[in-house]
Amino acid sequence: MKLDRIDKKLLGLIEKIINISEETLKESKQLPPTLLIFESNGKESLHRFAEGNMKELQVKAQEYIKENAKKILYCALSYDGTVTISSNKTDAIIVIGYGKNEEDAYIFAEKYCKDEKNIKFDGEISFIDQEKNLLK
């Protein structure tokens, strides 16, 4: 997968949601599913899904995307998850980027380590996979 195929505005939104997610994790040590939306009218909005089970909240966020797909030009959904590398699970910020003109949605991750006092981010955003674009 060549990242240069992904719209630059979508990549910018993905970078922005990762920065927001890092700050959220630093402050609260938790990352509820968070949705950053750029609408076709140029309006940008941030939505947090914080009440309930994390997996159910991810589904709610994805339902929100589907219900509002007509007015969304780009959006990025972030949540706290894990990635497995060489059979080792590692905490990560997971981000799914959706673009109205993109064939697929793109999944990225940034690994991090945490203890009771600190969170250290890897600083490297890795492309993980593609999935169905909910804006289509």
pTM: 0.94
Task: Please give the pLDDT value at position 59.
Answer: 96
Residue 99's pLDDT band (cuts 50, 70, 90): very high
Task: Please give the pLDDT value at position 1.
Answer: 60
Those residues with Cβ within 8 angstroms of residue 48's Cβ, 6 or more apart along the chain or in another chain: 32, 33, 34, 35
Task: Please give the pLDDT value at position 47.
Answer: 97
* C-alpha to C-alpha distance for 103 and 6, rounded to whole angstroms: 10
Per-residue DSSP letter, 103: S
